[in-house]
Amino acid sequence: MQLFDENGFLRLDEIVAQRPSFLKCMADHYITDDELKAQAETVRDLLRKLDEKLSDDDEEMVVNAICELAVLYEMNAQWDMQEGGK
């Protein structure tokens, strides 16, 4: 799985759209509380497994990348709301 396309852009939206977990929960075009909770638990479990395997330096790099990705997605959501209001 490649994170970046040939132009260096992050392919996260494309990757997410192909993930079985996303396809399953979006099959009915409605996210339930249980689906959201299950996905949160999946992410938590994966991050805990990753945390156990990483050195302190690697952990810091991964945490920073995840946090900055979250900032990017929140900024994008805010930007979409701004642009929608114009």
pLDDT in tens, 66-82: 999 999 889 988 998 98
Question: Would you say 27 and 33 are in contact if contact means Cβ atoms under 8 Å apart?
Answer: no
Residue 37, helix vs strand vs coil: helix
At what angle are helices 33-53 and 56-84 packed, to 10 degrees? 150
Output b/e per residue, 14-35; b: 16+ Cβ within 10 A.
Answer: eeeeeeeeeeebeeeeeeeeee
- State the pTM of this model: 0.75
Average pLDDT over residues 18-35: 94
* CA gap 73, 79 in Å, rounded: 10
CA distance 52 to 71: 25
Q: Per-residue pLDDT tens for 43-72?
A: 999 999 999 999 999 999 999 999 999 998
